[in-house]
Amino acid sequence: MTESAALQPHYPLPHPSPSAIFKELDEGGVLLSTTDEVYFGVNQVGARIWALLPPISKTFGELCLALEEQYPEAGSERIRIDAQEFLEALIASGLVVAASD
């Protein structure tokens, strides 16, 4: 995250890719891209972020607020940094697609 700009609260969240399959597990979940067979294991927070993607949350700010309510002990700054890094990893893996207007 050191090289990327911090996401602003109004930043539109990417949507799950139509080729992504998510399976929830006790310890988090597993994401699979059916187009390029990318496998991505996620912890419980990652699974929660996936569940909060559109249409549930529309912006990065909404996502972070929901996470802050669920994980108040983490602190808002840590949540923003971790959520952005997770979203960047999802984008890089092709598991989410950019929001369309």
Q: Tally the domains of the chain.
A: 1
**C-alpha dist (Å) from residue 100 to 14, 27, 75:** 8, 32, 30
Residue 10, in any domain of the structure: no
Q: Tell me the per-residue pLDDT of 39-80, one tens digit each, with 9 for 90 and over.
A: 889 999 999 999 999 999 999 999 999 999 999 999 999 999
Q: Which two tokens stand for residue 36?
A: 């390029």
Residue 87, in any domain of the structure: yes
Residue 7, in any domain of the structure: no
H-type alpha helices, the chain: 44-52, 60-70, 76-92
Q: Report residue 2's pLDDT band, with 50, 70 and 90 as the boundaries.
A: very low
Residue 77, domain extent: 15-94
Q: What's the rounded Cα separation, in Å, for the pair 80 and 78?
A: 6
| Greater model confidence, 25 or 99 | 25
Residue 33, in any domain of the structure: yes
